[in-house]
Structure 1
Amino acid sequence: MQTILGSGGIIGNLLAQELRTYTSKIRLVSRQPKVINSDDELFPANLLDLEQTQNALNGSSIAYLTIGFPYKSRVWQEAWPKVMNNVLKVCSEQNIKLVFFDNVYMYDAHHMGHMTESTPILPISRKGKVRAQIADMLMEATAKKKLNALIARSADFYGPSTPLKSIITEMVFKPLSKGKTAKWLGNSHSPHSFTYTPDAGKATALLGNTPDAFNQVWHLPTASNPPSGKEWIHMVAKEMAVSPNYQIIPKWIFNISEIFVPFMKELNEMLYQYEQPYIFDSKKFEELFFFKPTSYLEGIRRIIKQDYTAKVSQKDDLLY
């Protein structure tokens, strides 16, 4: 049995599909799990509760922690350490391998221009400090040989049907598809890596089913030579055959708006990632598994074909 803790999100759903390559026994765990494959086992549970976590993991050989909490520092500070502690405890007691799907918030802000698995950990944001804390909890447990675990780390997301958590979907794809002006944060001339979500799902399943991959950190496959913000916008606009109009959201807007809009405060502390080159290196994974990440242009074309072409066709039909 391979169990996904925190199913229902884009990564959990893609992972469930990819795991069919390795097993027919897949358990999906969340507060309200929904079937991805026809024979998935659904297990409602709250991972903040130790007993429910134990029950959810009973009989599992591999667990994938892909849970997502609301984008609020206070929630992360309260919930993440509890969940990680519960999952580590149960996995160690039941001899379950653990794969933790992570991000790059904990990396030193001065090293964003070339992020590898050995990039220094020195978070400057509240959410980054939480991420550093829980990653340290996991690696400490593996160092003490309490369990076998690995961290699968991703850059920012982009991909078909990506939920609202994808900034590039909300700021670029959606407005351009409606003929509106795209937006960008920080410096539009700085390159910015994005991990294509289908690649992330495939790679996470592969890592979980590769015994030698455990007890280390992995960067999930992400195309090299990322476009700048301006180049992202122009590439998407060209493929949509629309004008690449865009505007930069200045930092002062965040400084003022965060007083009235809590989400702006949450996003403001992460703006440093858009004010400088953000380049994610996944050569370690690519070279070991002979995996070529989806190119940015191909990723953009697939997203438009799946998420936007049908909508445009429907609008055209209304004209006749």
Structure 2
Amino acid sequence: MSAPSDLHVVLGAGGAIGSSVVRELAARGHRVRAVNRSGRVPALPGVEAHRGDITSAEGAKAACDGAHVVYHCAAPAYQRWVEEFPRMTDAVREGAVASGAKLIFADNLYMYGPVSTPMTEDMPYAARNPKGRVRAEMSEALLADHRSGRLRVAIGRASDYYGPGGVNTVVGATVFGAALQGKVARWVGPLDQPHSFSYLPDIARGLVTLGDDVRADGQAWHLPAAEPLTGRRFLDLVFAELGRPVKAAPLGRFMQRALGLVNPTVRALGETWYQRDRPFVTDASRFTRTFGPFTVTPNPDAVAATLDWYRANPTP
């Protein structure tokens, strides 16, 4: 079928990245269909809610019907990626093909495995852990579809995210929520390793740029982020914004293993511990060379906005 000129469909619109993409699209004046299981989405001009299950081809086709661009921002629970993510993404591919839409996949950096230099898009997919291999295989399948002419695809990759709505993240409730409540802020890994963090509104702007620009097609792109921070510096920004000292402690490998005995999400962090115990830095220079200057949100401003959101949405 021929797609209308300006229907942008966001899958996983109830999640942190998906809801940020919905807001960015609405701010740019696009017509948006926000898809999730509950059908509850922010009340924004031009945004329609769609309650649907995209884990089947039928559900994905219904969700994507009439789309010009589809943003795949949905994901299973972290500990179920290996079992459920490929099947979900296969269904989304079928939905996008049926609608004739361009597909934007919100990806991460797991496929590269352990690295010793800043990550660029031309690095091999060297991950040997299950989650990294799943990410690599999904990317390879999507880009193969593009090369075959079956589906227009662009992939946007971000590092660990934080920002308004960012709860299920290593710097979410355990850092921002805990600090606001006067609890110990737990940092996953050593405090002295530089790490790239992606701010949710910046991720959304990057993904929508890929959706709007034909030059993005057929490639994976690292989305721009502010300068990398060590855990110590990140926590200093949180404490400075709060205006008071806060208790903080690193969650080391031994404690991660111990907590992982009873918590499957914490247990799953073990297979990617190399992202914590050494520099984990992304290079987005190819994005800015291609699409032009991109003003990222400075880390202090992003931390302040995230704390404001947590004040308004306290965690248990």
Q: Distance in 2 between matches of 1:223 and 1:253?
A: 30
TM-score by length of 1: 0.89
Match of 1:53 among 60, 76, 80: 60
Instruction: Please report how far the alpha carbon of residue 93 of structure 1 lies from its aligned counterpart in structure 2 after TM superposition.
Output: 3.9
| 2:303 aligned with 1:300 | yes
| 2:270 aligned with 1:268 | yes
**What residue number does 2:110 align with?**
105
| 2:67 aligned with 1:65 | no
Amino acid at match of 2:100: N
Match of 1:182 among 177, 180, 185: 185
Q: Distance in 1 between matches of 2:181 and 2:11?
A: 36
- The Cα offsets for residues 55-99 of structure 1, whole Å up to 9 and x where unpaired, read as 221211111100021111xx3223222222222233234321100
Instruction: Please report how far the alpha carbon of residue 281 of structure 1 lies from its aligned counterpart in structure 2 after TM superposition.
Output: 1.4
Q: Distance in 2 between matches of 1:304 and 1:88?
A: 36
**What residue number does 1:16 align with?**
22
The 1:305–1:183 alpha-carbon spacing in structure 2 relative to 1, beyond 3 Å, is same
Amino acid at match of 1:184: W
Map 1:194-233; keep pairs closer than 5 Å. 194-224=197-227, 226-233=228-235
Q: Distance in 2 between matches of 1:161 and 1:21?
A: 17
Which ranges of structure 2 fall in alignment gaps of 5 or more residues?
1-6
**SS of 1:41 mapped into structure 2:** strand
**What residue number does 2:48 align with?**
41
**What residue number does 1:314 align with?**
none
| 2:127 aligned with 1:123 | yes
Amino acid at match of 1:82: R
- The Cα offsets for residues 91-133 of structure 1, whole Å up to 9 and x where unpaired, read as 234321100001111112124x401222221113221111111
Structure whose CA Rg is larger: 1
| 2:81 aligned with 1:76 | yes
**What residue number does 2:101 align with?**
96
**What residue number does 1:170 align with?**
173
Contact kept, 8 Å, 1:234 with 1:244, in 2: the verdict is no
**SS of 1:203 mapped into structure 2:** helix
| 2:151 aligned with 1:144 | no
Q: Distance in 2 between matches of 1:257 and 1:183?
A: 13
**SS of 1:79 mapped into structure 2:** helix
Amino acid at match of 1:194: F
TM-score by length of 2: 0.90
**What residue number does 1:315 align with?**
none
**SS of 2:95 mapped into structure 1:** helix
Match of 2:247 among 229, 237, 245: 245
Contact kept, 8 Å, 2:96 with 2:102, in 1: the verdict is yes
The 1:241–1:253 alpha-carbon spacing in structure 2 relative to 1, beyond 3 Å, is same
Which ranges of structure 1 fall in alignment gaps of 5 or more residues?
312-320
**What residue number does 1:159 align with?**
163
Aligned residues between the structures: 306
Q: Percent identity?
A: 27
Amino acid at match of 2:101: I
Instruction: Please report how far the alpha carbon of residue 309 of structure 1 lies from its aligned counterpart in structure 2 after TM superposition.
Output: 8.4
130-139 vs 89-98, greater mean Cα deviation: 89-98
Instruction: Please report how far the alpha carbon of residue 24 of structure 1 lies from its aligned counterpart in structure 2 after TM superposition.
Output: 4.1
- Give the alignment's Cα RMSD to 1 decimal: 2.0
**SS of 1:298 mapped into structure 2:** helix
Instruction: Please report how far the alpha carbon of residue 291 of structure 1 lies from its aligned counterpart in structure 2 after TM superposition.
Output: 0.7
Contact kept, 8 Å, 2:190 with 2:252, in 1: the verdict is no
**What residue number does 2:38 align with?**
32
**What residue number does 1:114 align with?**
118
57-66 vs 102-111, greater mean Cα deviation: 102-111
- The Cα offsets for residues 226-269 of structure 1, whole Å up to 9 and x where unpaired, read as 22111111221122112253222221222233233322211222
Amino acid at match of 1:99: I
Q: Distance in 2 between matches of 1:274 and 1:35?
A: 34
**SS of 2:296 mapped into structure 1:** coil
- The Cα offsets for residues 109-165 of structure 1, whole Å up to 9 and x where unpaired, read as 124x401222221113221111111111101111212111100111100112322x1
